[in-house]
């Protein structure tokens, strides 16, 4: 194995050729004090709801060297997911193919083409992805706690390479736009000064939560995920349609109307969401969401 430093310019150029809209490099060091304290406060509040995995491997989440022994460099990568056409009942990020698969494949291609040693993650390990995206200079943390990439806004997926070599240059963080969540509880009570309270978040309830939806959850816009804070973020004005065909909705998905959703069978669901992140909610979870969404929009078709 060569001991020569990796070229950050070569990594960035190759990442761009593979469709990543941003690529930044940071030294793999323990997460800095403020972010660590914020994460602990967030857990103390119980804002993770029943996503118990967030309470596991906290040491690895806060120190990349415990997650990947020998890691020297963290490469943050972003892809633009803003679909050109949209199915209004589904969150923007889930209109096309599952980003885990798309990003993972592209990141593997980058690792292989550049003979990089290490591991790649897309929501697949305890990694503070927004922290590392900011730390590696590819984006800013917005008022609503999202990451926004200059020129592309907050409609981006993130992934990370944990490399066991050093590179010849590292990036500096960009300044945050404002203290996060300041005054945003008016928009949504789930946005607190100590981070997002999943117990009150529609995205959490319609995607991650199994079982009954709490009575207070109102689904007036989307029944899978929620884009309200994303769309309200000032940087959303920078979002523009992606060139990635994988993130565009299918013709069949675009055609779906309230009456079609009401009659959705398990077979329809399998065809419509083959290879889609929506499968995370499973058929029963999606039907549960649709039922609430129809009720909250007072649409009833087959009586």
Residues taking part in catalysis:
123
The reply to whether 203 sits near ligand SF4 by the rule CB under 6 A is: yes
Contact map string, positions 211 to 240, toward ligand SF4, x by CB under 6 A: ---------------x-xx-----------
The reply to whether 158 sits near ligand SF4 by the rule CB under 6 A is: no
Candidates 68, 79, 202, 219: give the one binding ligand SF4 (CB under 6 A).
Answer: 202
Smallest distance, ligand SF4 to C-beta of residue 232, A: 7
Of 107, 117, 282, give the one whose Cα is nearest residue 211: 282
Q: Residue ranges of the alpha helices (H) in the chain? A: 8-17, 33-45, 58-62, 64-67, 99-113, 129-135, 202-203, 228-232, 251-255, 258-262, 266-272, 282-296
Total of chain residues touching ligand SF4, rule CB under 6 A: 10
Residue range at the interface with ligand SF4 (CB under 6 A); choices 11-19, 66-74, 115-123, 189-197 = 189-197
- The C-alpha atoms of residue 297 and residue 303 are separated, in whole angstroms, by 16
Residue range at the interface with ligand SF4 (CB under 6 A); choices 56-64, 174-182, 199-207, 208-216 = 199-207
Residue range at the interface with ligand SF4 (CB under 6 A); choices 17-25, 71-79, 195-203, 291-299 = 195-203
- The C-alpha atoms of residue 10 and residue 85 are separated, in whole angstroms, by 34
Q: Please tell me whether residue 76 adopts helix, strand or coil conformation.
A: strand
Please list, in sequence order, all residues whose beta carbon lies within 8 angstroms of the beta carbon of residue 119, skipping any fewer than 6 positions away: 68, 125, 161, 162
Rounded (to 5) percent helix, strand, coil in the chain:
40, 15, 45
Q: Rank residues 8 and 289 by Cβ distance to ligand SF4 and give the closer one.
A: 289
The reply to whether 201 sits near ligand SF4 by the rule CB under 6 A is: yes
Smallest distance, ligand SF4 to C-beta of residue 256, A: 21
The reply to whether 188 sits near ligand SF4 by the rule CB under 6 A is: yes
Of 97, 80, 157, 72, give the one whose Cα is nearest residue 123: 157
Smallest distance, ligand SF4 to C-beta of residue 178, A: 16
Q: Rank residues 103 and 191 by Cβ distance to ligand SF4 and give the closer one.
A: 191
Smallest distance, ligand SF4 to C-beta of residue 190, A: 4
Smallest distance, ligand SF4 to C-beta of residue 113, A: 36
Please list, in sequence order, all residues whose beta carbon lies within 8 angstroms of the beta carbon of residue 199, skipping any fewer than 6 positions away: 46, 47, 49, 190
Q: Rank residues 136 and 144 by Cβ distance to ligand SF4 and give the closer one.
A: 144
Angle at 110 between CA 160 and CA 132, to 5 degrees: 15
- The C-alpha atoms of residue 107 and residue 160 are separated, in whole angstroms, by 8
Q: Please tell me whether residue 251 adopts helix, strand or coil conformation.
A: helix
Residues near ligand SF4 (CB under 6 A): 188, 190-191, 196, 201-203, 226, 228-229
């Amino acid at each position: 194995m060569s001991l020569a430093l990796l070229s950050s310019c070569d990594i960035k150029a190759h990442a761009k050729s593979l469709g990543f809209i941003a690529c930044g490099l940071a030294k793999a060091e323990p997460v800095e004090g403020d972010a660590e304290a914020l994460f602990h406060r967030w857990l103390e509040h119980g804002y993770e709801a029943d996503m118990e995995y967030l309470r596991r491997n906290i040491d690895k989440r806060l120190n990349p060297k415990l997650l990947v022994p020998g890691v020297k460099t963290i490469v943050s990568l972003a892809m633009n997911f803003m679909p050109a056409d949209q199915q209004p009942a589904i969150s923007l990020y889930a209109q096309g193919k599952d980003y885990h698969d798309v990003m993972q494949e592209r990141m593997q291609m980058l690792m292989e083409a550049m003979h990089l040693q290490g591991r790649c993650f897309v929501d697949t390990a305890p990694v503070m992805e927004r922290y590392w995206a900011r730390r590696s200079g590819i984006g800013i943390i917005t008022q609503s706690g999202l990451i926004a990439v200059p020129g592309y806004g907050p409609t981006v997926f993130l992934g990370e390479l944990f490399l066991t070599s050093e590179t010849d240059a590292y990036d500096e963080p960009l300044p945050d736009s404002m203290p996060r969540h300041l005054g945003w509880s008016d928009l949504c009570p789930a946005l607190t000064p100590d981070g997002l309270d999943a117990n009150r978040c529609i995205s959490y309830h319609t995607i991650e939560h199994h079982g009954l939806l709490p009575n207070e959850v109102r689904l007036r816009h989307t029944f899978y995920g929620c884009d309200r804070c994303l769309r309200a973020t000032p940087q959303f004005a920078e979002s523009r349609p992606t060139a990635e065909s994988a993130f565009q909705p299918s013709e069949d998905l675009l055609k779906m109307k309230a009456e079609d959703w009401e009659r959705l069978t398990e077979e329809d669901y399998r065809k419509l969401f083959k290879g889609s992140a929506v499968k995370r909610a499973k058929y029963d979870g999606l039907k549960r969401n649709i039922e609430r969404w129809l009720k909250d929009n007072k649409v009833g078709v087959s009586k």
